[in-house]
């Protein structure tokens, strides 16, 4: 700890967001990075405490939300190095555990900050922003390529199915360890949800592509527009590679099967966000199309994807937006059964909700609302959504049904899990805790194994899967 009084000298200061009136006119990233001096001051707030909950990655009390970073990031070490101005050392420390910090430094909800010791009686350290500062500096100084140089070739070949966080993380680590890696992606671009599931204003696609380009330069092979089981048989992949990693994510969206579901104008959020990103990649970040001008949009869901849909629809000129959530509104402060260092289950406004509030002059969030039917016109076009207010998740309030105008409904209720057909192709019936399966040549990592989760979990599982493969293959050499 370079400055034992840093947490007393400096107040927490996060990367500021651009003004709403400015940022809703484009698809540029929302955040404006702090200066180098400000980042060093923020890093100085880290106390280097004896029990750093920030990197515990613990589920307290059997709850489903992780507290602290699950990726083994030794956060106090690189905070100290940033404060000292030893930026390359900070990068080397960070890169030992996180091969994709430019992604987590932009989109991670930072459970590490909430479990920071300073958050017990104040505000935690700006770990999220510090991580972004380190990796952005590393790319500017051209340190990243050196950290990913492949080791001596082992002669082993590994195929990875899926190019999201888990697939990229596994590929990066396997390449470092000297294995030949090929990533297969069924989409036209690489990055999985990093490319098409997270909008550009949260994660610029140039950032994602920069990492892909670097990985190609380091010898990793990428194959797009290729679906395993259709374009290439599972048997062929197993015959040509020593190990195969399934890292396809949890790509099956949750549906809402109520009356009128067949109407035109009801879309899954991921499809809408993919289309929006493709428009940006084609026309540029300054081209905010008005394709939703005059349209009334209803977003169903309460998570980050729903907020992304709100922000995107706003930039496309929606006349109105409503966000429906079946869950009741969370408390505004921690309750007694949600103590530190648990992740705080409190109500907060996402960036898209803040934007919509300012543009439309009021809150767009409707909690304790259940959708009971979609209403259509004669030709099958959506015109409204029938909703009812709930006492809780299971009991409706009598006489509370109403209809909201809707030209477009976006289903943003999360994902139920991975597509099962690929597992069947490879004969995978069981997945074990160490990411191995009943088929010794097949491993599963990330959301494809654990279900919908954070980007940092995908990175962790990709890295651990790579090291598991390395150990098993090297053991063969010495048998």
> What b/e readout covers 277-287, taking b as 16+ CB neighbours within 10 angstroms?
bebbbeeebee
Question: Kindly report the CA angle at 94 between 90 and 99, in degrees rounded to 5?
Answer: 140
What is the pLDDT at residue 140?
Answer: 97
How many CB atoms are located within 10 Å of the residue 400 CB? Answer: 14
CA distances 211 to 148, 161, 443, 467, Å, are 11, 18, 24, 21
Quick one: pLDDT band at residue 132, thresholds 50, 70, 90?
Answer: very high
pLDDT in tens, 147-158: 999 999 999 999
Asked if residue 52 lies in contact with residue 76, where contact means CB atoms within 8 angstroms, the answer is yes
Asked if residue 446 lies in contact with residue 462, where contact means CB atoms within 8 angstroms, the answer is yes
**How far is residue 450's CA from residue 422's CA, in Å, rounded to a whole number?**
16
Short-list 329, 275, 269, CA closest to 299: 269
Inform me whether the pLDDT recorded for 78 exceeds 70: yes
Quick one: pLDDT band at residue 363, thresholds 50, 70, 90?
Answer: very high
Inform me whether the pLDDT recorded for 471 exceeds 90: yes
CA distances 127 to 14, 77, 112, 172, 215, Å, are 10, 12, 7, 23, 26
What is the pLDDT at residue 479?
Answer: 66
Inform me whether the pLDDT recorded for 36 exceeds 70: yes
CA distances 412 to 90, 234, 364, Å, are 37, 32, 15
pLDDT in tens, 171-203: 999 999 999 999 999 999 999 999 999 999 999
Burial class (CB in 10 A: 0-12, 13-18, 19+), 367: middle
pLDDT in tens, 224-250: 999 999 999 999 999 999 999 999 999
* Averaged pLDDT for residues 209-236: 97
> What b/e readout covers 83-117, taking b as 16+ CB neighbours within 10 angstroms?
beeebebbbbbbbebbbbbbbbbbbbbbbbbbbbb
Quick one: pLDDT band at residue 55, thresholds 50, 70, 90?
Answer: confident
Inform me whether the pLDDT recorded for 1 exceeds 80: no
**How far is residue 401's CA from residue 417's CA, in Å, rounded to a whole number?**
32
In the chain, % of residues over pLDDT 70? 99
pLDDT in tens, 304-345: 999 999 999 999 999 999 999 999 999 999 999 999 999 999
* Structure token digits, residue 79: 């905070």
* Averaged pLDDT for residues 269-283: 96
* Averaged pLDDT for residues 92-104: 97
**How far is residue 386's CA from residue 374's CA, in Å, rounded to a whole number?**
6
Strand-strand pairing, 320-325 and 296-300: parallel
């Amino acid at each position: 700890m370079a400055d034992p009084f840093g947490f007393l000298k400096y107040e927490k200061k996060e990367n500021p967001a651009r003004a709403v009136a400015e940022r809703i006119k484009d698809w540029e990233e929302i955040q404006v990075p702090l200066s180098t001096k400000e980042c060093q001051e923020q890093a100085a707030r880290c106390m280097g405490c004896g029990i750093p909950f920030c990197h515990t990655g613990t589920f307290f009390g059997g709850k489903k939300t992780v507290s602290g970073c699950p990726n083994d990031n030794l956060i106090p070490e690189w905070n100290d190095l940033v404060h000292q101005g030893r930026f390359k050392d900070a990068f080397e420390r960070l890169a030992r555990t996180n091969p994709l910090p430019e992604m987590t430094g932009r989109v991670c909800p930072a459970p590490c900050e909430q479990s920071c010791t300073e958050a017990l009686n104040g505000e935690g350290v700006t770990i999220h922003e510090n991580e972004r500062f380190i990796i952005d500096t590393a790319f500017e100084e051209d340190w990243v390529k050196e950290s990913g140089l492949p080791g001596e070739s082992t002669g082993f070949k590994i195929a990875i199915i899926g190019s999201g966080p888990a697939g990229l993380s596994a590929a990066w680590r396997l390449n470092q360890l000297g294995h030949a890696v090929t990533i297969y992606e069924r989409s036209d671009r690489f990055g999985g949800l990093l490319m098409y599931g997270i909008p550009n204003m949260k994660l610029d696609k140039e950032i994602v592509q920069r990492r892909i380009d670097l990985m190609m330069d380091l010898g990793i092979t990428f194959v797009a527009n290729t679906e395993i089981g259709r374009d290439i048989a599972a048997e062929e992949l197993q015959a040509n590679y020593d190990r195969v990693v399934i890292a396809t994510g949890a790509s099956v969206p949750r549906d809402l099967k109520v009356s009128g579901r067949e109407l035109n104008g009801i879309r899954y959020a991921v499809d809408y966000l993919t289309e929006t990103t493709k428009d940006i990649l084609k026309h540029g970040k300054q081209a905010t199309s008005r394709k939703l001008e005059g349209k009334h949009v209803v977003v169903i869901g309460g998570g980050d994807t729903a907020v992304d849909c709100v922000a995107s629809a706003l930039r496309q000129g929606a006349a109105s937006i409503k966000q429906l959530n079946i869950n009741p509104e969370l408390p505004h402060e921690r309750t007694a059964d949600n103590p530190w260092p648990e992740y705080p289950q409190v109500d907060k406004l996402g960036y898209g909700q803040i934007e919509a509030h300012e543009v439309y002059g009021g809150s767009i969030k409707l909690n304790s609302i259940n959708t009971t039917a979609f209403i259509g016109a004669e030709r099958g076009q959506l015109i409204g959504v029938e909703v009812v207010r709930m006492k809780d998740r299971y009991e409706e309030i009598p006489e509370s049904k109403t209809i909201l105008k809707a030209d477009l409904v976006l289903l943003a209720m999360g994902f139920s899990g991975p597509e099962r057909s690929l597992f069947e192709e490879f004969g995978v019936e069981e997945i074990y805790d160490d990411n191995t399966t009943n088929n010794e040549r097949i491993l599963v990592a990330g959301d494809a194994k654990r279900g919908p989760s954070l980007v940092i979990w995908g990175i962790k599982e990709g890295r651990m899967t790579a090291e598991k493969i390395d150990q098993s293959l090297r053991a063969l050499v010495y048998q």
